[in-house]
Amino acid sequence: MKPVILVLNEGPGRMKTSNALLLAHALAGQKLPLRIFLLDDAVYLARKGKTTGLSDLLDLGLPVYISEPCARARGLTGASLLPGVIMGSMVDLATSVATCKQVLSF
């Protein structure tokens, strides 16, 4: 079964972001293959010490990509990110869009 990709753009504390993470948990509970890609201020979700629900998804083994240019622009490096977060590029996002069943953007 082809995975679904959730693309998040807004940072922590936004209702849209909270809803996207709730949906990700629900989809994971349905055993649906899922990927998450964080862009813009959503990269802050991947910071160590944040309680956003993203670490639970990582613990389930879901691939979580973070835009390296967006992270760099916000001063986030590999050392400041949750373990398991994958530094990605627009090529990675394009590949996911091309190979996933659905793309949901928040």
Residue 57, phi then psi, degrees to nearest 5: -70, -40
pLDDT band at 102 (very low <50, low <70, confident <90, very high): very high
* Other residues' Cβ atoms within 10 Å of the Cβ of residue 28: 16
**Domain spanning 4-105: CATH superfamily:** DsrEFH-like (3.40.1260.10)
Listed residue (54, 106, 42, 44) closest to 84, CA to CA: 54
The model's pTM is 0.93
pLDDT greater at residue 86 or residue 77 = 86
